[in-house]
Amino acid sequence: MTRRIARLMAAAIAGLLLVAAAPQPGRAAEAGAQARSRTVALTFDDGPSKYTPQILDILRRNDVKATFCMLGGNVGAYQRTAKRVVKEGHRLCNHSRNHPDFTTLSNSRARSQIVYTQNKIREVTGRSPKVFRFPYGSSNSRVRQVVRNRDLRILGWTVDTRDWARPGAKVIADRAVRGTRPGGVILMHDGGGNRTQTVAALDRTIKRLKAKGYTFVLA
Ligand SMILES: [Zn+2]
């Protein structure tokens, strides 16, 4: 590229930036951009379970929507709860039938884990998840392709509260709040064991993140 073309391109880019920034008064534009970027998503894995309704109550009181990565094998026993997740505006996520490590599965077994859960969730809630999260976050390119072939987006996380290890509600909330950056995805669990601590941590986590200017989005 010649120097002249490079200069022209730089000028054009600067021009575009000026045009984009021009209509908004400085301070308000800055505050607006910051508010837009300070988003965080709450995600709950391994449910539905008997703890899920308590989590839904807290989310409703705080007017927050979240994403629920359900195990197909749990949905039949908690049909009302699964329906309530949808009814209250939360997002469904497929988290397999019974939580295997997908890197150990053949393509056909991986596919059947996914398809079973898609079918079960649709049968019970009337909706099909559009996202999938690997159990343990464990994947490779082969099984990621199996997921994509079912038209599912793969969901990860940026903040692992490790709430399943039951470190105490205060530690769970601290990890969630301190670990969150704009655009973050917080991993918590509404199933897979005793989730009393997660339930106890949730309200204070939401309130502290809101106080820091975060708004909650679907993952
Ligand atoms: Zn899980």
* Same-domain pairing of 9 and 54: no
Tokens of 91: 């997002």
* Same-domain pairing of 64 and 1: no
Query: What pLDDT is recorded for position 14?
Result: 46
Tokens of 10: 């730089």
Tell me the pLDDT band of 15, cut-offs 50, 70 and 90: very low
- From ligand 1's centre to the CA of 60, what distance in Å? 23
* Same-domain pairing of 198 and 184: yes
Structural domain of 183: 39-217
* Same-domain pairing of 33 and 99: no
- From ligand 1's centre to the CA of 164, what distance in Å? 10
Tell me the pLDDT band of 33, cut-offs 50, 70 and 90: low
Structural domains of the chain, count: 2
Q: In degrees rounded to 5, what are phi and psi of residue 151?
A: 60, 40
* Same-domain pairing of 95 and 201: yes
- Give the pLDDT mean for 76-104: 98
> CA separation (Å) from 189 to 15, 32, 213?
48, 32, 24
Active-site residue, 57 included: no
Which residue is catalytic, options 90, 95, 99, 189?
189
Tell me the pLDDT band of 37, cut-offs 50, 70 and 90: confident
- From ligand 1's centre to the CA of 178, what distance in Å? 22
Query: What pLDDT is recorded for position 150?
Result: 98
Share of the chain above pLDDT 90, in %: 83
- From ligand 1's centre to the CA of 109, what distance in Å? 18
* Same-domain pairing of 113 and 165: yes
* Same-domain pairing of 124 and 136: yes
Q: What angle do CA 9, 13, 14 make, to 5 degrees?
A: 115
* Same-domain pairing of 16 and 76: no
Distance separating alpha carbons of residues 209 and 212, to the nearest angstrom:
5
Query: What pLDDT is recorded for position 98?
Result: 98
Tell me the pLDDT band of 188, cut-offs 50, 70 and 90: very high
Query: What pLDDT is recorded for position 56?
Result: 99
* Same-domain pairing of 82 and 124: yes
Query: What pLDDT is recorded for position 8?
Result: 45
- From ligand 1's centre to the CA of 46, what distance in Å? 5
* Same-domain pairing of 10 and 106: no
**Predicted confidence (pLDDT) per residue in 117-173, tens digit:** 999 999 999 999 999 999 999 999 999 999 999 999 999 999 999 999 999 999 999
* Same-domain pairing of 88 and 13: no
Which residue is catalytic, options 45, 46, 163, 190?
45
pLDDT at 197 over 90: yes
**Rg of the chain in Å (alpha carbons):** 21
Identify the CATH number of the domain in which residue 53 sits. 3.20.20.370
pTM of the prediction? Answer: 0.84
- From ligand 1's centre to the CA of 16, what distance in Å? 45
Assess contact for 129 and 114: CB atoms under 8 A. no
* Same-domain pairing of 86 and 23: no
Active-site residue, 99 included: no
